[in-house]
Amino acid sequence: MTLTLRPLHPVFGAEASGLDLRQPLGPEEVRAVVEALDQHAVLVFRDQLMEQEQQVAMARQFGPLNPGLKKIGGRAERMREATLIDISNLDAEGRPLPRDSKKVVSGLANQLWHSDSSFQAPAVSYSMLSAVTLPSWGGETEYVDLRAAWDALPPALQRQVEGLEAEHFALHSRMTLLGDTDYTPEQLAALPAVVWPLVRIHPGSGRKVLFCGIHARRILGMGVAEGKMLLLDLLEHATQPHLRYRHEWRPGDLVIWDNRATLHRGRRYDLNEARELRRTTCDEVPAGATPVGLHHAA
């Protein structure tokens, strides 16, 4: 079968058709998807409702799978597959959890602009999110292309940030919302902070990327306050409304995006209604990240 692409946004993103991702892909089909991601960064596949095992098998064709924050643990998982990440507000019986439950409150951090697992080295490449159950309103996912963000950055600011490095920490987004939490020392140490350049080269397209997001908590060699303000300015620039693609989910949608080139965030919905999406994420070969000692920035 042949992959067909229809652009969804003037800058990036495409609706992809012609492939049934529930069936094993041939090498040429995998290569076609990767090349389409190099160009468009976000691909939307419709009518791909999968069993858990099917989604895991599909994702493994694009690289080893990464469990993300499951490395920290601390709560029971609903998924049968260990590498499948539960993006839902549901309990083990599939019922909406109380709005103040730890899982629901922690999940609200997904509504902050982020790149999946930018707090890890080796980095991750692709995320695949499958829509199972959707609320009556809200719950969309928004994306921005960080290559376009770099291209649109004023030249003076480009010169300022090139060569700078930012420290990314797994729980920074949760702490941004909640302050200090009750994570144990073992959980805090499970995913030590890493350092990424603020300006990276996207391996597939060769384009420069403005690599910011909520997991970045400080800029090395810069005062804490000054660094945080610069990170906020860069994030505001990268997520301007005209640079966003907003995906309105349908059951059976499967969206694949390249974390090395994009940021994304979920949008608000009624937490009393069920919302279930399932995510798989692929590891990437190390690309220059430097683990650093875990410590909390002031």
What are the residue ranges spanned by the domains of the chain? 4-291
Query: For position 293, what pLDDT does the model report?
Result: 36
Separation of first and last alpha carbons in the chain = 54
Q: Closest Cα partner for 85 from 129, 143, 21?
A: 129
pLDDT at position 191: 78
pLDDT on residue 288: 42
Question: Token pair 């144990």 is at which residue?
Answer: 184
Which among 1, 41, 36, 42 has a CA at the least distance from the CA of 21? 1
Q: To 5 degrees, how large is the angle CA 118–CA 56–CA 97?
A: 75
pLDDT computed for residue 174 by the predictor: 80
Q: In the prediction, which pLDDT does 284 show?
A: 83
* DSSP, res 62: T
Tokens of 280: 């798989």
The first and second tokens of residue 44, run together, are 């939307």
CATH architecture of 4-291: 4-Layer Sandwich (3.60)
Distance CA(141)–CA(74), nearest Å, equals: 26
Residue 146 contacts residue 210 (beta carbons within 8 Å): yes
Tokens 């009750």 belong to 182
CA gap 277, 108 in Å, rounded: 14
Measuring CA to CA, which residue among 125, 124, 218 is closest to residue 166?
218
- Could you say which residues of the chain have pLDDT below 70? 1, 70-77, 179-182, 285-298
Amino acid at residue number 231: L
Tell me the per-residue pLDDT of 23-60, one tens digit each, with 9 for 90 and over. Answer: 999 999 999 999 999 999 999 999 999 999 999 999 99
pLDDT of residue 143: 98
The whole-number pLDDT of residue 287 equals 41
